[in-house]
Amino acid sequence: MKPIFRTDLMMALLFVASIYSGFEIHYAGHFQSHEVWHNWSVVHVVANVLFLVISIIHIKQHWNWYKSLTKITSSKKPRIITILLSLLFATTVLSSIYLLLFAKGEGTSAGFFHYVVGIIFGVLSIGHFVKRWKVFKKGVRKA
């Protein structure tokens, strides 16, 4: 399998771990104990450190795509959505760093902000992947 598709596959798996643990933390914040909230936070942080590492590799592999943004082309590719995805990714990561440094426990407004941005990021990520499903399937099959 080509490295880019191996990265895509890892992105997809880690994304599921990220979003699932994110929902579990949010649920625990409302209906469960602080201990459960804390345990899911640990899972979420570990999953997302891995997700971040693979995301950096994914972005590096597509660096030419970012460079192409500075040129005017007639490309019909979904550029706006991918630009939005990149910006939401950055906002989600920055808000998570803020949470780690400054927020104490569950129920903070910064935590809610991160949760909402995370969900929008999640929806765009699913669209991003679905749109490229055929390319991905072909790339994985060539293994």
- Map tokens 């979003």 to a residue: 19
Q: Does 18 bind ligand HEM (CB under 6 A)?
A: yes
* Token pair belonging to 42: 């640990």
DSSP 55-80: HHHHHHHTHHHHHHTTS-----S-HH
- Map tokens 């899972």 to a residue: 43
Q: Does 91 bind ligand HEM (CB under 6 A)?
A: no
Cα–Cα dist 51/118, whole Å: 13
User: Looking at 59, 91, 127, 140, which residue binds ligand HEM (CB under 6 A)?
Assistant: 59
Where do contacts with ligand HEM occur on this chain (CB under 6 A)? 4, 8, 11-12, 15, 18-19, 22-23, 25-26, 29, 41, 44-45, 48, 51-52, 55, 58-59, 62, 65, 77, 82, 85-86, 89, 92-93, 96, 99-100, 103, 106, 108, 111, 114-115, 118-119, 121-122, 125, 128-129, 132, 135-136
